[in-house]
Amino acid sequence: MFRNNYDNDSVTFSPQGRIFQVEYASEAVKQGSVVVGIVSKTHAILVVLKRNAEELSSYQKKIIAIDEHLGIALAGLASDARVLSNFMRSQCSASRLTFGRAIPLSRIVSSISGRAQSNTQNYGRRPYGVGLLIVGVDDSGPHLFEFQPSGMTQEMIACAIGARSQMARTYLERNVERFANCSREELVKHGLQALKESLTQDKELAIENTSVGIVGIGNSLKGSKIEVFKLYDGIEVKQWIDLVSDKSNISEAVESMEVDS
Amino acid sequence: MNHFPQAWGRPRDDIYGPYDGSFLHDSRPNQHTTTPIVTGTSVIAIKFKDGVVIAADNLASYGSLARFTNVKRLRKFAETSVIGFGGDISDMQYLDRALNNLEIKHAYDSSGHSLNAKNLHTYLAKKFYQRRSKLDPLWNHVLVAGLDDEDKPFLASADLYGTTFSSPSLATGFGAHLAQPLLRKLVPDEEAATKLSLESAINAVKESLKVLYYRDARSMDKYSIAVITKDGIELKENEKLENQSWAFAEKIRGYGTQVN
């Protein structure tokens, strides 16, 4: 009786002008675990919460390095992100081959948004079920972009997508003024703090479930133009997790109280 | 429906008479550029401390006929680079159009990402190599002058084979034989180029153009010259060679024994 007749494919507008299939695709993004991105004047970072299917399984990778100057974090269908990341990689290497330069961020972002958009206007296709945060550095500095299955892309100062990301966004909005002048470490700390906001009660940040991706403007003293995009995983993220964990703060407090000599 | 796909969707023979399919079969093979027709001669360029000077005359020859005397063979690209074209003029015009399209495409980025001379040279070299690999070359030898990604003077060559090289001074065609030795006296190496002044670079280029006009039968005394620095491009397209030396010719009589 009250069946929705307008959500069978992505080429049908509803009487209100909506495309339900695209909206359903956006729901897939909300199912994915949370990813956070922040950009400062010198760096752009990704911080992600990885999930495992069960106790015995590995944690699903959420950050993909695309090129020296660029990486992405995904929320949603990982296989769609693989398709998009392969496409981005080929775009990057095409730019390096034909022009001998790293592709500008805005260019590669608009190329994937074009691809996603065309999937929403041809019969027999489906929208991508994945949202991306894209960080990178080009001639005009570090950038953070958000990508949605609808083909919408926006440049952001800070952004969080995925399940329960609203909490993280609230944190980011409260601190938005601070990010521009943050150092690399401060930026990661803010990212982890935002991530923590969106954790469920029984979860904690640990080296198994947290990944960090960093790219930045290079230290010209060393002669390198950029700090190449690097994914920090496992034990490498311990340094930052310890910085923001409640336990360390408590134990410090406890230690300082219990010292008697 | 019959078993001859060529006839499907075509007017029926029994009503309209036999179909004339002659246009479907080209009796001749594909014709690619096997030889240049209207040609430009040398392009010469030299690096100096703040940038690059590049020049080429305004002549397009039709064989030995000096057919077109007002052809501009230096082209600005994206306000930061100049390309000098030697070789076939129609292929130059094709490349000019391709580069215009490229420039427009890249200008859509509002964030000011434009291609520098180095990027442009890479692109042109790939284009040349792609075409010669299809046995359909673009019959040109070009010099790309401008600034690289570190704002340093950039000068490199690309030709119809996709061969590329770079040097503090470069010249195409006849200029490689006549102008290059003169320019090399000024800039034997990269270090010398970082010390060369604009004035002596321009003088050297003008002198070389003059020598080319003396000795190259496909050259002309009207020329274009461009100076590329961080501040932009200064392109002059209607220059004329000055201070030629012909007075000595009056004293020459015969080819040996004739005295008067």
Q: How far apart are CA B109 and CA A205, in angstroms?
A: 39
Domain with A155, as residue range(s), is 20-260
What's the pLDDT score for residue B110?
A: 65
Alpha carbons B229 and A230: distance in angstroms, whole number? 37
Encode pLDDT of A52-90 as tens digits: 999 999 999 999 999 999 999 999 999 999 999 999 999
- Cross-chain residue pair A98–B111, CB shorter than 8 Å: no
Question: Is residue A9 in some structural domain?
Answer: no
Is the CB of residue B169 less than 8 Å from the CB of residue B205?
Answer: no
Rounded CA-CA distance A188/A194 in Å is: 10
The pLDDT, as a whole number, for residue B187 is: 97
User: What 3-state DSSP class applies to A158?
Assistant: strand
| Residue B34 scores a pLDDT above 70 | yes
Query: Are A101 and B115 a contacting pair at CB < 8 A?
Result: yes
Q: What is the pLDDT of residues B151-166, one digit of tens each?
A: 999 999 999 999 999 9
- pTM to 2 decimal places: 0.85
CA distance A26 to A99: 35
Amino acid found at B87 = G
Identify whether the C-beta of residue A126 lies closer than 8 Å to the C-beta of residue A25. yes
Residues in A closer than 8 angstroms to B118, CB to CB, are: 100-101
Residues in A lying within 8 Å of B, measured between beta carbons: 97-101, 104, 106-107, 138-140
Percentage of chain B beyond pLDDT 90 is 78
Average pLDDT value for chain A? 92
A142 contacts on B by Cβ (under 8 Å): none
Domain locations along chain B: 38-239
Chain B residues in contact with A137 (beta carbon < 8 A): none
Does residue B172 have an active-site annotation?
A: no
Q: Do B115 and A139 touch (CB under 8 A)?
A: no
The predicted structure's pLDDT at residue A150: 96
Contact A197, A205 (CB under 8 A): no
Does the structure's ipTM exceed the value 0.90? no
| Residue of chain A nearest B117, judged by CA positions | A99
pLDDT digits (tens, 9 = 90+) for A161-215: 999 999 999 999 999 999 999 999 999 999 999 999 999 888 899 999 999 999 9
**Per-residue pLDDT tens digits for A105-158:** 999 999 999 999 999 999 999 999 999 999 999 989 999 999 999 999 999 999
- For the B38-239 domain, the top CATH level (class) is alpha beta
The model's pLDDT over B171-205, given as tens digits with 9 standing for 90+, comes to 999 999 999 999 999 999 999 999 999 999 999 99
Q: Total domain count for chain A?
A: 1
Contact status of B14 with chain A (Cβ, < 8 Å)? no
Q: Report the pLDDT value the prediction gives residue A192, as an integer from 0 to 100.
A: 96
What are the chain B neighbours of A100 within 8 Å (beta carbons)? 118-119, 122
Interface test with B, best of A99, A105, A220 (most B CBs within 10 A): A99
CA distance A251 to chain B (A): 49
Residue A200 lies inside a defined structural domain of this protein: yes
Chain A residues with beta carbon closer than 8 angstroms to that of B122: 98-100
Q: Is B115 on the interface with A (CB under 8 A)?
A: yes
Residue A163 lies in a domain: yes
Confidence of residue B108 (pLDDT cuts 50, 70, 90): confident
What is the model's pLDDT at position A251?
Answer: 47
Interchain contact B28–A (C-beta under 8 A): no
Residue A12 falls inside a structural domain: no
Instruction: Provide the CATH number for the domain around residue A192.
Output: 3.60.20.10
Higher pLDDT, B141 or B259: B141
Q: In this structure, is residue A52 part of a structural domain?
A: yes
CA atoms of A41 and B137, how far apart (whole Å): 46
Question: Which among B109, B118, B122 is the nearest to A107, CB-wise?
Answer: B109
By Cβ distance, the residue of B109, B111, B118 closest to A100 is B118
Chain segment B83-98, per-residue pLDDT in tens: 999 999 999 999 999 9
| CB within 8 Å: B122 and A98 | yes
Residue in B113, B120, B126 nearest the CB of A139: B113
User: Quick check: A255 pLDDT over 60?
Assistant: no
Query: Read out DSSP for chain B?
Result: --S-GGGTTS--HHHH-S---GGGS-SSPP----S-SEEE--EEEEE-SS-EEEEEES-EEETTEEEES----EEEETTTEEEEEEEEHHHHHHHHHHHHHHHHHHHT-TT-----HHHHHHHHHHHHHHHHHTT----EEEEEEEE-TTS-EEEEEEETT--EEE-SEEE-THHHHHHHHHHHHH-SSHHHHTT--HHHHHHHHHHHHHHHHHH-TT--SEEEEEEEETTEEEEEEEEE------GGGGG--SSSS---
Q: How far apart are CA B149 and CA B99, in angstroms?
A: 19
A230 found inside a domain = yes
B113 in contact with A, Cβ within 8 Å: yes
Nearest-neighbour CA in chain B from A226: distance (Å): 13
Residue A236 belongs to a domain: yes
Residues 131-170 of B with CB under 8 A from A: 149
What is the C-alpha to C-alpha distance for residues B220 and A41, in angstroms, rounded to an integer? 54
